[in-house]
Amino acid sequence: MMGRKDSEFGYKKMLNGLLFVGGCIPFFFWIASQSHGGETDKKLTTSGWIGIAAFVAYAIGAIVLIRRPEGHYCCPECGAHIKALRHNERSNQEYQFQCAACGILWKTDVFEGDG
């Protein structure tokens, strides 16, 4: 088993996070545009409340549905779908993927908890 580094994994993981945040922005603009009234008496139109409901639905859906890179990793060499090594199979918190077909242990330099 030889170890190789997959530098794209960290990039994909970061991109996922950016997509989620980017998807939130239109909701904020919409809700802000639907509020009226003074500082002490803020009111929201019905559309604004629908916007908030849609935003909550989006956030829940995104958390459930976003395909996390570690959950659907494919071997960069042969394209086989491989699972991340479990905690007790690796020495640290780094995401590592072992392709049996290629005999390669893919290291990512991405550590759990990095976001």
Binding residues for Zn ion, per CB under 5 A?
Answer: 75, 77-78, 80, 99, 101-102
Query: Do residues 111 and 90 make contact, with C-beta atoms less than 8 angstroms apart?
Result: no
| Least distance to Zn ion, CB of residue 51, Å | 45
Nearer to Zn ion, 99 or 110 (CB): 99
Nearer to Zn ion, 4 or 43 (CB): 4
Nearer to Zn ion, 19 or 101 (CB): 101
| Least distance to Zn ion, CB of residue 63, Å | 30
